Copies of this chain bind each other. A is one copy, B any other.
Amino acid sequence: MARVVVDVMPKPEILDPQGKAVHGALDRLGFGGVADVRQGKRFELQVEGEITEERLAEIRNIAETLLSNPVIEDYAVRIEESVGVEGGAA
């Protein structure tokens, strides 16, 4: 069992209203020094068995077709072998 993380972020050239809203809130709440905020999605997939090249290609396919909209979003797939260590709130 391995954990695969898929990060989906709006492409740099795409306006990100959620990120803009967070950025505006930071200013209003007095947190300065943040130049920009982008908000995206993070998916954690618990994958059964070994992660082979074939398996990874399938997961990339999932990321591209189901988890992201490739017109406006980029995705990144990475393997986190350490299952179940997410480490609480820090």
Shortest CB-to-CB span from A22 to chain B, Å, is 7
A79 within 8 A of B: no
A45 within 8 A of B: yes
How many copies the complex holds: the figure is 2
Shortest CB-to-CB span from A14 to chain B, Å, is 13
Q: How large is the interface on A (under 10, 10 to 19, 20 to 34, 35 or more residues)?
A: 35 or more
**Residues in chain B near residue A36, CB distance under 8 A:** 45-46
Beta-carbon nearest neighbor of A37 in chain B: B45
**Residues in chain B near residue A8, CB distance under 8 A:** 42
A86 within 8 A of B: yes
Rounded to whole angstroms, the CA-CA distance of A48 and B76 in the bound complex is 25
Centre residue among A19, A35, A44, A60 by max chain B CB count within 10 A: A44
